[in-house]
Amino acid sequence: MANNIEYFVTKLSFREDGDLINDVFAYSYDGLALSEGEIRQRQWLVNRTEQKLQISIMTRNEAGEWIRGNVFTYNNDLYTWGSKLPENIPRRKVFISYYHHDDQDYRERFENLFGDLVVSKSVEDGDIDSDNSADYIKQLIQQEYLLDTTVLIVLIGANTRCRKHVDWEISGALNYKVGDKYAGVLGLFLPSHTNYGSDKYTPDLVPRRLSANFESGYAIALDWTDNRVIMQGYIEQAFNKRSESEKIVNSTIPQMQRNTGSE
């Protein structure tokens, strides 16, 4: 029966020398169901290779389905597998701020492609009902959406700058009362935004509070990508920016009182 089991790796990390795999995040498949993923050390890989069991990489598509990839090969103590995998590092607690009416599809796309790489803390449409900024942020904290968020991701579509709740969520994430540090901030330009694919952005087409933190160097502005390795790297960049909290711009910007675009 054991010979019918296949193994799949979705993330891995290397030893300090950068050549040898240190550990992997692996699943087993018995032909019926995929197991829960677990961290496995290098010797686990070697043992299964010696048992002539198949180990392949596995990734996710935009529908959230696991897709079989290249098979690991082993030669002279080194593994090769043909394409880069995300790092086997802690999953950051991520809150996604976006305009639900326009950009729900990209919110779902993010979860489908990257859900195993992060811990999602985001609000679904209708979870919190408040038209008062202070009350809204208070509820985000009390209901633990923002309580320990380490990275806020803003999906920047054509009308995101017009939405008061996006402004409030950015403000809340930049509040020191949230967790033991401020959250890092990553702004992702969506294909619907005129600045997508450009090496510059137009401040007036971005939420004001977000733009101010782009300018200060605290927030990171990048384009949307479907690439799991690249997206994980983006999130890590924003996470590491938390050490530069002196660059945060928040309290000097009034919170939006109303939406400035169409509902």
pLDDT digits (tens, 9 = 90+) for 142-164: 456 677 889 999 999 999 999 98
Residue 151 lies in a domain: yes
Same structural domain for residues 76 and 115?
Answer: no
Residues 6+ apart with CB under 8 A from 221: 187, 189, 201, 206, 214
* Mean predicted lDDT score pLDDT of the chain: 90
Q: How far is CA 75 from CA 49, 79, 84, in A?
A: 11, 7, 18
Burial zone of 119 (CB within 10 Å; 0-12 exposed, 13-18 middle, 19+ buried) = middle
Most confident of 65-79, 140-154, 174-188: 65-79
3-state secondary structure of 177: coil
The reply to whether 106 and 175 lie within a common domain is: yes
Domain count, the chain: 2
Residue 22 belongs to some domain of the structure = yes
CA distance 31 to 93: 33
Q: What is the pLDDT of residues 82-137, one digit of tens each?
A: 999 999 999 999 999 999 899 999 999 999 999 999 998 876 665 665 565 566 66
76 plus 153 within the same structural domain: no
Q: Does some domain include residue 253? A: no
Phi, psi of 88 (to 5 degrees): -90, 80
Domain that holds residue 25: 2-80
Residues 127 and 229 in one domain: yes
